[in-house]
Structure 1
Amino acid sequence: MKLTVSAFVLLICTVALLSTTEGRPVRPQLRCNCPQMYSAPAIPANKILSLRVISAGPHCKHEEIIAKMKKGETCLDPTKDWVISLKEEINKRNIKSQQ
Structure 2
Amino acid sequence: MNEIKSLADQLRNNIHQQGKPPPEPEILEKIRKYDNRDHKSLMHIRFDRDTLKLLGQFKMATGVDVTKLVAFSVHQLLEQHPEIKTLVKHYIQQLNL
Q: Give the TM-score, by structure 2 length.
A: 0.29
Q: Which has the higher helix share?
A: 2
Q: Give the TM-score, by structure 1 length.
A: 0.29
Q: Which has the higher strand share?
A: 1
